[in-house]
Amino acid sequence: MDKLNVTIDGRAHQVPPEYTILQAAEEMGIEIPTLCHLKDLAPEGACRMCLVEVEGNRKGLVTACTQPCAEGMVVHTGTEQVRESRRFVLDMLLSTHNKDCFSCAKIGVCKLQQYCFEYGVEESTFSGGILPERPEKDDTNPFFTYDPTKCILCRRCQRTCDKIQGRSIISIAERGFNSTITTSFEHPLETTACESCGNCVAACPTGALTSKDNQRYYRSWEVERVRTTCPHCGTGCQMDLLVRNGKVVGSEPAPGPANRGILCVKGRFGSYKFIQSGDRLTHPLIKENGEFRRASWEEAIALIGTKMKAIQKENGDDCVAGFSCSRSPNEDNFIFQKMMRAVFHTNNVDNCARVCHSASVHGLAITLGSGAMTNPIRDITESPEVVLLIGSNPTEAHPVVGAQIRQAVNRGAKLIVVDPRRIDLVDRAELHLQIKAGTNVAFSNGMVHIFLRDGLADMAYIADRTEGFDELSAIVADYTPEKVGEICGINPDDLVKAAHMYAKAEKAPIIYCLGVTEHSTGTEGVMSMSNIAMTVGKLGKAGCGVNPLRGQNNVQGACDMGCMPYHFPGYQKVEDQPIREKFEKAWGVKLSDTIGLMSTQVMPAAAEGTIKGLYIFGEDPVETDANSAHVREALGNLEFLVVQDLFMTETAKYADVILPGISYAEKEGTFTNTERRVQRVRKAVTLQGEMRPDTEIFYDVMEAMGYKCEHLDPAGIMDEIASLTPSFGGISYARLDAEGGLQWPCPTRDHPGTPILHVGKFTRGLGYFYPVHYRAAAELPDAEFPVTMITGRMLYHYNARSMTGRTDGLNEICDSSYIEISSEDAQRIGVSDGEMIRVASRRGEICTIARVGKRVQEGEVFMTFHFPDGNVNELTNSVTDDIARIYEYKVCAVKLAKA
Ligand SMILES: Nc1nc2c(c(=O)[nH]1)N[C@H]1C(S)=C(S)[C@@H](COP(=O)(O)OP(=O)(O)OC[C@H]3O[C@@H](n4cnc5c(=O)[nH]c(N)nc54)[C@H](O)[C@@H]3O)O[C@H]1N2
Ligand SMILES: Nc1nc2c(c(=O)[nH]1)N[C@H]1C(S)=C(S)[C@@H](COP(=O)(O)OP(=O)(O)OC[C@H]3O[C@@H](n4cnc5c(=O)[nH]c(N)nc54)[C@H](O)[C@@H]3O)O[C@H]1N2
Ligand code: SF4
Ligand code: SF4
Ligand code: SF4
Ligand SMILES: [Mo]
């Protein structure tokens, strides 16, 4: 449609017809003051600060945030009448405001303070009147405070919590003059379902909601802001680290493409305390007679060189292996695999994707040709009709995605949850298919059966774009809703309903996570996700796709960078000779054509003695691998173990040499989020100590092993990556800094990146239907171990807690292990909520606290692996999937007793 001509403060401008005066002014760089306005939400016109004069308007002043532009409109934003009305608004607000500005954390950034100064309002003409009745200050949240005496009732916090965070914790008690912002039922914050995301705090224009770290450690004008990427989950939220006197004192949300201005509690409050926690490794350590002693870098690196060379000389190159760090940047991962391949001459290199989404990398590569999330986060959460959420708990594990799914549901999307537990999103779901853990393939085959039976399949799409459908359709013929209902323990009618809802929706993404992958049939589970989507033609389309939410902040990147035993960077195969020659030429060495061992094969090989040397960069398998006893045995049996980490982890205790690396806040780099978006990580601080950038350490080890190389900085390493990796060919720091992030494939300098995969044609050519039968989990409950243990995550802690465990507020919320158990099972063993339970499997035994409730069904229990007191990995089964060799973390058999 044609643009409209408007004139604001004497300047002419053209704007789209849907623009408000506020938007037009903003585009022209004319500032109109606002207090209640929130950019992403519908305007309210409540605070009346944005009043402006429109020529010819008889109704007087209008609110710029709600008034649409009109052809020929002439607007004045600063007339005396306008200024006077704004002064009146401020005068009123100030009359009940606590003006204790000196002690207020928001001094200098408070909008009320700023506008009062601008409009010359020093004292309220209404001062001295009665003050409204207000609740007590609420100090109960570990991270922030609500002070009602500084609240101007703009409702930005309430609308943020309601409409953006989708939580509705904050409400307004309507009592005229005494109106106040409070929680539902006016309970203290800590007793509500508030998840401490702090997004309301970020939205508050005054000192009413302020973070405790802001109160204690900094004032806004003292901090330098460093734009970076969150170091926790794969959502890839953009944030600013706040730096004061060389210390990171806080973080604030930034407007990134995935997070769009919000963070979860870990990004907001859990991403900086660990940096300066006081227990960082600060210098190399060498173990002598069972004790660690301080060593110099020269000594530690030289020891690694001599030891590794000797071990390899005696046992061959492939007797050593390396695990790379999915928490650290692409550049570190690239150099790590280069070191393993070019210098240790082995492809025995892997990363934690092995125990996480390796099944996705394999399964999606086999069926679609690319082992990555097909569609961007925004594309699948903005306006889907149906979301099929399978084995993914995003409100805890990818909370910003979780919030976006809540928003979608509020806008009318229908949610189908397929999960053995009543996860939080079940409350918003149209359907909950509470399948038994380990039965995803039966569920998927049942879906495809119904698509065919009820004429819902897209036969034209199947014919044009796929192959192998006949074989699959022969298999699924058996998977009637009744049979699947039996296997999965669900009502067959619900399955039929789910199949119809999903198939008939135009925009319907599958979002899945570890509930699908961490099984002895994990890769088959993933391939059956492709089967569901391809049968109804939902791949290569906006708002659809098969979308694994990748776990770690840079696990996508660690895989992309070739930290896998069969791939060079960019999934280029090591057994492909021309590819190998390209890398040989670039690196000036002969490279091995033998596919390496996966990390879950390295552990048994170490226990058997065929792997003798191991280099673990930023992983803690003693805590996080399945069957901890087996890991301890494997590590204990090594001849030489190097651990490069930030902290003295349980794994590091087994090391012969420990090298101190540096964290994301201390280095330049890039992380690749779950939607294949490469985003910058920027150095915010330099700490005291001898820690070194991880890439510098690798370069030194390479030299000690006899390989001379130029020490490139991170931008230079990215150029090396681009030169060798076609899908990264167009990525450089200059572009990332200018454009803010690029989604691979991005093959050339002028390529914009690829938001949606498989449009028009699959990466593989034809999509492949993998014919797959349901097989039960490896260890089912029996008379001796009658209960199924499911494991996973909770919101406030992250993996082995190297970061979240060093944030006091998070520990205040939860600091010990627990087991979710049904009331039926609790009653059977005679325990009540809060009592101790002894849990045993064939591999070990732990004690933990009972959380009795309705989250799990009878016969199933759930634990997280975050806590050292009662780590569930003492119990889990290290049996692996046949293809991706991922552990079956999600199912093992246990017995329970009152402790
Ligand atoms: N707060 C927090 N966030 C994290 C992490 C963390 O430790 N803490 N870790 C990050 C990492 S590394 C990863 S990989 C992701 C993981 O993110 P998710 O995979 O979403 O997390 P999980 O809790 O492991 O498992 C998800 C769900 O799978 C369900 N499930 C278990 N078995 C089955 C099954 O057989 N079928 C189905 N359909 N569902 C099943 C569980 O009940 C659980 O609700 O989270 C990332 N984000
Ligand atoms: N029972 C059970 N167990 C599980 C799972 C489950 O669902 N159930 N999930 C599995 C999954 S999905 C995953 S991904 C794994 C995670 O397993 P891990 O990768 O072992 O867990 P993290 O705690 O993330 O360990 C990362 C380590 O890297 C260090 N680090 C972080 N950044 C840097 C850096 O820049 N440089 C250096 N040198 N070190 C750094 C940290 O200090 C930390 O010690 O756990 C698995 N374990
Ligand atoms: S911290 Fe988050 S969940 Fe809690 S009240 Fe604020 S916006 Fe709502
Ligand atoms: S607490 Fe802050 S954001 Fe909420 S209504 Fe009061 S002033 Fe506005
Ligand atoms: S959702 Fe993930 S990336 Fe975003 S702030 Fe939370 S932990 Fe960080
Ligand atoms: Mo993971």
Percentage above 70 pLDDT, the chain? 100
Nearest CA to ligand 4 atom 4: 157
Ligand 5 centroid distance, CA of 333 (Å):
21
> In this predicted structure, which of 186-190, 445-449, 555-559, 764-768 has the lowest mean pLDDT?
186-190
Nearest CA to ligand 4 atom 2: 204
Number of H helices, E strands in the chain: 30, 39
pLDDT of amino acid 135: 83
Give strand ranges (E) for 217-290. Answer: 224-229, 238-244, 247-253, 285-288
Nearest CA to ligand 1 atom 31: 515
Is the beta carbon of 268 within 6 A of some atom in ligand 3?
no
Separation between Cα atoms, residue 361 and residue 267, nearest integer Å? 26
Of the candidates 73, 80, 85, the residue with the CA atom closest to the CA atom of residue 24 = 73
Q: Which ligand has the nearest atom to the CA of 209?
A: 4
Q: Over the stretch 19-51, which tens digit does the pLDDT of each residue have?
A: 999 999 999 999 999 999 998 899 989 999 999
pLDDT of amino acid 1: 65
Ligand 5 centroid distance, CA of 202 (Å):
16
Q: What is the mean pLDDT of residues 270-279?
A: 97
Asked if 641 and 304 count as a contact pair (C-beta separation under 8 A), the reply is no
Please report which helix (H) or strand (E) contains residue 321, including its range. strand 320-324
Q: What is the mean pLDDT of residues 109-128?
A: 89
Phi and psi (nearest 5°) for 66? -105, -20
Query: Which residue among 171, 195, 266, 424 is best mutated to probe the pocket of ligand 3, counting the most ligand atoms within 8 A of its Cβ?
Result: 195
Query: Which residue among 206, 210, 211, 214 is best mutated to probe the pocket of ligand 4, counting the most ligand atoms within 8 A of its Cβ?
Result: 206
Separation between Cα atoms, residue 892 and residue 800, nearest integer Å? 20
pLDDT of amino acid 871: 95
Separation between Cα atoms, residue 316 and residue 321, nearest integer Å? 12
Give the ligand 3 atom nearest the CA of 170.
5
Nearest CA to ligand 5 atom 2: 233
> How many residues are given for the chain?
899
State the Cα torsion 366-368-372-374 to the nearest 10°: -160
Ligand 1 centroid distance, CA of 388 (Å):
15
Q: Which ligand has the nearest atom to the CA of 164?
A: 3
Is the beta carbon of 402 within 6 A of some atom in ligand 1?
no
Nearest CA to ligand 3 atom 2: 197
Does residue 99 have a pLDDT over 90?
A: no
Residue the block writes with tokens 């950019």: 39
Query: Which residue among 155, 160, 165 is best mutated to probe the pocket of ligand 3, counting the most ligand atoms within 8 A of its Cβ?
Result: 165
pLDDT of amino acid 198: 97
Q: Which residues line ligand 2 (CB under 6 A)?
A: 325, 327-328, 352, 355-356, 514, 518, 551-552, 617-621, 624, 644-647, 649, 661, 663-664, 694, 791-792, 799-800, 802, 865, 872-873, 876, 889
The rounded Cα 582 to chain-centroid distance in angstroms is: 34
Of the candidates 764, 352, 353, 326, the residue with the CA atom closest to the CA atom of residue 527 = 764
Ligand 3 centroid distance, CA of 111 (Å):
21
What is this structure's pTM?
Answer: 0.97
Ligand 1 centroid distance, CA of 461 (Å):
32
Q: How many CB atoms lie within 10 A of CB 696?
A: 16
Helix (H, G, I), strand (E, B) or coil at 665: helix
Q: What is the mean pLDDT of residues 372-398?
A: 97
Ligand 2 centroid distance, CA of 279 (Å):
18
Residue the block writes with tokens 């995550």: 793
Residue with the larger pLDDT of the pair 179 and 250: 250
Report whether the peptide linkage leading into residue 745 is cis, meaning its omega lies within 30 degrees of zero. yes
Q: Which ligand has the nearest atom to the CA of 650?
A: 2
Helix (H, G, I), strand (E, B) or coil at 537: coil
pLDDT of amino acid 58: 83
* 142: DSSP letter: S
Separation between Cα atoms, residue 764 and residue 758, nearest integer Å? 9
Ligand 1 centroid distance, CA of 356 (Å):
9
Is the beta carbon of 420 within 6 A of some atom in ligand 1?
yes
DSSP 61-93: -EETTTPBP-TTEEEESS-HHHHHHHHHHHHHH
Separation between Cα atoms, residue 338 and residue 657, nearest integer Å? 21
Does residue 495 have a pLDDT over 90?
A: yes
Q: Over the stretch 125-166, which tens digit does the pLDDT of each residue have?
A: 876 667 778 888 999 999 999 999 999 999 999 999 999 999
Question: Average pLDDT over the chain, rounded to whole?
Answer: 96
Using 50, 70 and 90 to split pLDDT, how confident is the model at 226? very high
Q: Which two tokens stand for residue 472?
A: 């699959």
Q: Over the stretch 330-360, which tens digit does the pLDDT of each residue have?
A: 999 999 999 999 999 999 999 999 999 999 9
Asked if 597 and 567 count as a contact pair (C-beta separation under 8 A), the reply is no
The residue type found at 245 is N
Is the beta carbon of 311 within 6 A of some atom in ligand 5?
no
Ligand 2 centroid distance, CA of 811 (Å):
18
Q: Which two tokens stand for residue 103?
A: 């002690």
Ligand 4 centroid distance, CA of 596 (Å):
57
Nearest CA to ligand 3 atom 3: 194
Separation between Cα atoms, residue 713 and residue 715, nearest integer Å? 6
Q: Which two tokens stand for residue 161?
A: 């919590």
* 874: DSSP letter: G
Separation between Cα atoms, residue 645 and residue 633, nearest integer Å? 21
Separation between Cα atoms, residue 387 and residue 379, nearest integer Å? 12
Helix (H, G, I), strand (E, B) or coil at 180: strand
Sequence-separated contacts (24+) of 226-229 with Cβ below 8 Å: 226/682, 226/683, 226/684, 227/254, 227/680, 227/682, 228/664, 228/665, 228/680, 228/681, 228/682, 228/684, 229/256, 229/553, 229/664, 229/671, 229/673, 229/679, 229/680, 229/681
Using 50, 70 and 90 to split pLDDT, how confident is the model at 604? very high
Does residue 402 have a pLDDT over 70?
A: yes
> In this predicted structure, which of 57-66, 161-170, 471-480 has the lowest mean pLDDT?
57-66
Q: Which residues line ligand 4 (CB under 6 A)?
A: 151-157, 181, 203-204, 206, 208-209
Ligand 5 centroid distance, CA of 400 (Å):
6
Strand partners, 51: 63
Is the beta carbon of 230 within 6 A of some atom in ligand 5?
yes
Q: Over the stretch 547-577, which tens digit does the pLDDT of each residue have?
A: 999 999 999 999 999 999 999 999 999 999 9
Q: Residue 346 contacts by C-beta under 8 Å, 6 or more apart in sequence?
A: 317, 318, 320, 321, 340, 592, 596
* Residue 877: CA count within 13 A, CB half-sphere: 22
pLDDT of amino acid 40: 87
Exposure of 710 by Cβ count < 10 A (0-12 exposed, 13-18 middle, 19+ buried)?
exposed
Helix-strand-coil percent breakdown of the chain, rounded to 5? 35, 20, 45
Ligand 6 centroid distance, CA of 551 (Å):
4
Of the candidates 76, 77, 74, 126, the residue with the CA atom closest to the CA atom of residue 97 = 126
* 433: DSSP letter: E
pLDDT of amino acid 758: 94
CA 448 to each of CA 438, 467, 477, 484, 769: distance values in angstroms, whole numbers, following the listed order: 18, 15, 9, 11, 11
Q: Over the stretch 417-473, which tens digit does the pLDDT of each residue have?
A: 999 999 999 999 999 999 999 999 999 999 999 999 999 999 999 999 999 999 999
Q: What is the mean pLDDT of residues 828-855?
A: 98
Of the candidates 55, 325, 234, the residue with the CA atom closest to the CA atom of residue 677 = 234
Of the candidates 328, 282, 313, 349, the residue with the CA atom closest to the CA atom of residue 705 = 313
Nearest CA to ligand 4 atom 7: 151
Q: What is the mean pLDDT of residues 276-300?
A: 97
* Residue 885: CA count within 13 A, CB half-sphere: 16
Query: Which residue among 277, 327, 865 is best mutated to probe the pocket of ligand 2, counting the most ligand atoms within 8 A of its Cβ?
Result: 327
